[in-house]
Amino acid sequence: MNRIKTECGMTEDEIVVAQGFYDVTFPPDLAELLVAFTPTADKFYRWADYSPENIKANTDMLAWPTDGTLFDVEHNDFWLTTWGDKPDDMAIRLRIACKEMRKAPKLIPVFAHRYVSSFPKEAGNPVYSAYQTDIIFYGHDIWDYFEIEFGSKRQSQIDFDSIKHIPFWNDMILNIGRLAEPGITDERALSA
């Protein structure tokens, strides 16, 4: 089991300031965690640190899911059928994909490329591992995620059937699994 080093948590006011600064909404369980303690390590995000380097790191990782998806649209022929017919013109493809990504709930980085959905604004949103369009569930919720990433639970032990549905992101996981390998089962797509 990996241990997490921690510092004192953020204040409620610091949470409000960080959400406004980065134009995000922390789900209540993430906010609760950040108030209780601040995990420290290179791959954790420090929301109360406004140094230029930290602002850039946080901003880059907030953009990572969209940037990664657009990269795959442009370089790996990625296209979701829910976006309609795939245009031949790459500029039009990218414009449509960008528009569709703006509709998706924002993902908030927690650790490295692990993200929790900002929507709905309630506890229990799933945690995703997101690397371009390689997206899988990495925790039923924020607490389950910490048990998987730093405890003794395995990612394959997630109760996939009870994961809260998050528009776009959950659908993307299931669609990617089906697109990547015809006949793939949803269970394999969820835990790939």
pLDDT in tens, 95-149: 999 999 999 999 999 999 999 999 999 999 999 999 999 999 999 999 999 999 9
Tell me the sheet residues that pair with 117: 107
Residue 179 has pLDDT above 50, yes or no: no
The band of 176, judged by pLDDT with boundaries at 50, 70 and 90, is low
Residue 10 has pLDDT above 70, yes or no: yes
Tokens of 190: 């969820």
pLDDT in tens, 24-59: 999 999 999 999 877 766 688 889 999 999 999 999
**Checking DSSP bridges between strand 134-139 and strand 127-131, what pairing results, if any?**
antiparallel
Tell me the sheet residues that pair with 124: none
CA distances from 3 to 6, 39, 125 (A): 10, 10, 24
Structural contact between residues 147 and 4, judged by C-beta atoms closer than 8 angstroms: no
The identity of residue 18, as a single letter, is A
| pTM reported for the whole predicted model | 0.85
For 34: left if phi > 0, alpha if psi spans -120 to 50, otherwise beta; the answer is alpha
The band of 174, judged by pLDDT with boundaries at 50, 70 and 90, is confident
Report the alpha-carbon angle 25-27-32, nearest 5: 115
Sheet of strand 127-131: strand arrangement = 107-111, 114-117, 127-131, 134-139
Residue 186 has pLDDT above 70, yes or no: no
Q: What is the mean pLDDT of the chain?
A: 87
Which ranges of 76-168 would DSSP assign to H, the alpha helix?
90-103, 142-150
Predicted local confidence at residue 126, as pLDDT: 96
